Chain A
Amino acid sequence: DAGVIQSPRHEVTEMGQEVTLRCKPISGHNSLFWYRQTMMRGLELLIYFNNNVPIDDSGMPEDRFSAKMPNASFSTLKIQPSEPRDSAVYFCASSTGTSREQYFGPGTRLTVT
């Protein structure tokens, strides 16, 4: 199994631009999670999906952030417009309903200048 796949691995963009981060969960996993990691705030859960449905998005910082999961094998996290304070590493993780162990992707390091 290839594990959780995220793209791009690195993204550098200018303030005001739209950023789209992508995630492919492990095949057969029905839960998907988006996290943000910063030095100041550590690891924060942004949103999670179960069976492609958003269950809890209370961690999404503001309306500039949106996430979708159109099918079981793909999810996006979009920031529009991006701001320098959005600079962080964004991790995607997936799990099955029974194991409860979350498998993390390699992350996307986002830098907004």
Chain B
Amino acid sequence: AQSVSQHNHHVILSEAASLELGCNYSYGGTVNLFWYVQYPGQHLQLLLKYFSGDPLVKGIKGFEAEFIKSKFSFNLRKPSVQWSDTAEYFCAVMNNAGNMLTFGGGTRLMVKP
């Protein structure tokens, strides 16, 4: 069975601070990894995804994530956060068959202006 752990449940940062959200997964097969963002009151939107190739993935809005296979990690980063980045962030892993997406518990990010 696949699982995802996001150890930071709540993160508070000031604008312009750097961000790194942790994500560790457990899955024995080839992994497809995702980061979704959920702005207050809205639905989930895809930030970025990793299927194969370059382990450093760049997404929208200046976000990036690095797949480190040896650590079973897929941490999300942004060099300088903005107030508008206040949201909940979800890491997810999909099985190789492409039909089961398992989400982590989410990290609530608050950026203070």
Number of interface residues of B (CB under 8 A): 21
Question: What chain B residues lie within 8 Å of A55 (beta carbons)?
Answer: 99
Q: Let me know if B45 is at the binding interface, CB within 8 A.
A: yes
Given A42-B105, A56-B100: A101 and B43 within 8 A (CB)? no
Least Cβ–Cβ distance between A103 and chain B, in angstroms = 8
Of the candidates A48, A91, A100, A104, the one having the most CB atoms from chain B within 10 angstroms of its own CB is: A100
Chain B, residues 58-79, CB within 8 Å of chain A (1/0): the string is 0000000000000000000000
Query: Would you call A45 and B102 a contact (CB within 8 A)?
Result: yes
Of the candidates B32, B43, B98, the one having the most CB atoms from chain A within 10 angstroms of its own CB is: B43
Query: Would you call A101 and B106 a contact (CB within 8 A)?
Result: no
Q: Let me know if A107 is at the binding interface, CB within 8 A.
A: yes
Query: Would you call B99 and A31 a contact (CB within 8 A)?
Result: yes
Q: Let me know if B44 is at the binding interface, CB within 8 A.
A: yes
Interface of A is mostly: strand
Sample of 30 A–B contacts (CB below 8 Å)? A31-B99, A33-B101, A42-B103, A42-B104, A42-B105, A42-B106, A43-B90, A43-B103, A43-B106, A45-B100, A45-B101, A45-B102, A48-B100, A50-B99, A91-B43, A93-B44, A100-B32, A100-B51, A100-B94, A100-B98, A101-B49, A102-B101, A103-B46, A104-B36, A104-B43, A104-B44, A104-B45, A105-B43, A106-B43, A107-B43
Residues on A facing B (Cβ under 8 Å): 31, 33, 42-43, 45, 48, 50, 55-56, 91, 93, 97, 100-107
Residues on B facing A (Cβ under 8 Å): 32, 34, 36, 42-46, 49, 51, 90, 94, 98-106
